[in-house]
């Protein structure tokens, strides 16, 4: 009897690395010449990142520094979801949410992409992840490769591999 092989498609973020990247960005901003004498700050509160600066140019500069630090710490930029910039009191505020898990819509998009590949694979949504099952390990590897090539606007990882 052939046993089924499976793996999970997830979207996870190491929050400790996010915190480290934010702290490194704070240090760099404090030392940069173009931020001397300006009111620019970046805060991390375990759910989202808040950026506050005098104008949108400085906010974008802070975002560039933050993204650079995230990439160096192996945190995918796709896990950052930017809300609308808010201007109040002469300051510009940007809130960045950290996306954890795969939404139901993205899960359905992933499953439909797998069905289009015409491989003999079973895919099912399990909360904020997608479980992929097949009798052949090669089919699972083909699905992994196909999912890596497509852009779903979420950082995807493959975990819980069982054969």
Q: Supply the pLDDT for residue 32.
A: 86
**Is 115 found in the same domain as 93?**
no
CB–CB of 25/150 below 8 Å? no
- The tally of domains found in the chain comes to 2
Task: Answer yes or no: do 86 and 62 share one domain.
Answer: yes
Classify strands 5-10 and 80-82 as parallel, antiparallel or unpaired.
Answer: unpaired
Q: According to the model, what pLDDT value does residue 9 have?
A: 86
Residue 33 pLDDT level (bands cut at 50, 70, 90): confident
pLDDT at residue 119, rounded to an integer = 79
Do 65 and 32 share a domain, yes or no? yes
Specify whether 54 is located in the same domain as 34: yes
Residues 90 and 114 in one domain: no
Same domain, 34 and 82: yes
Residue 21 pLDDT greater than 90, yes or no: yes
Say yes or no: 77 and 144 in one domain: no
The model's pLDDT over 78-106, given as tens digits with 9 standing for 90+, comes to 888 999 988 888 889 999 999 888 888 88
Q: Do residue 58 and residue 115 come from a single domain? A: no
Res 1: pLDDT:
38
Which segments within the chain are labelled E, that is strand?
5-10, 41-44, 48-53, 80-82, 86-88, 91-98, 122-126, 129-134, 157-162
Residues spanned by the domain of 91:
15-98
pLDDT tens readout for residues 108-161: 888 888 888 787 888 888 888 888 888 888 888 888 888 888 888 888 888 887
Structural domain ending residue among the three candidates 74, 98, 122:
98
């Amino acid at each position: 009897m052939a046993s089924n092989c499976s793996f999970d498609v997830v979207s996870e973020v190491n929050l400790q690395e996010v915190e480290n990247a934010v702290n490194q960005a704070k240090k760099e901003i404090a030392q940069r010449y173009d931020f001397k004498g300006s009111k620019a700050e970046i805060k991390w509160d375990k759910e989202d990142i808040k950026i506050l600066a005098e104008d949108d140019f400085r906010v974008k500069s802070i975002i560039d520094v933050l993204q650079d630090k995230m990439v160096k710490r192996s945190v995918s930029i796709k896990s950052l979801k930017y809300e609308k910039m808010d201007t109040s009191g002469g300051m510009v505020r940007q809130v960045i949410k950290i996306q954890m898990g795969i939404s139901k819509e993205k899960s359905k998009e992933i499953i439909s992409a797998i069905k289009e590949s015409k491989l003999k694979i079973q895919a099912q949504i399990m909360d904020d992840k997608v479980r992929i099952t097949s009798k052949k390990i090669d089919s699972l590897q083909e699905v992994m490769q196909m999912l890596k090539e497509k852009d779903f606007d979420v950082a995807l990882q493959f975990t819980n591999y069982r054969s």
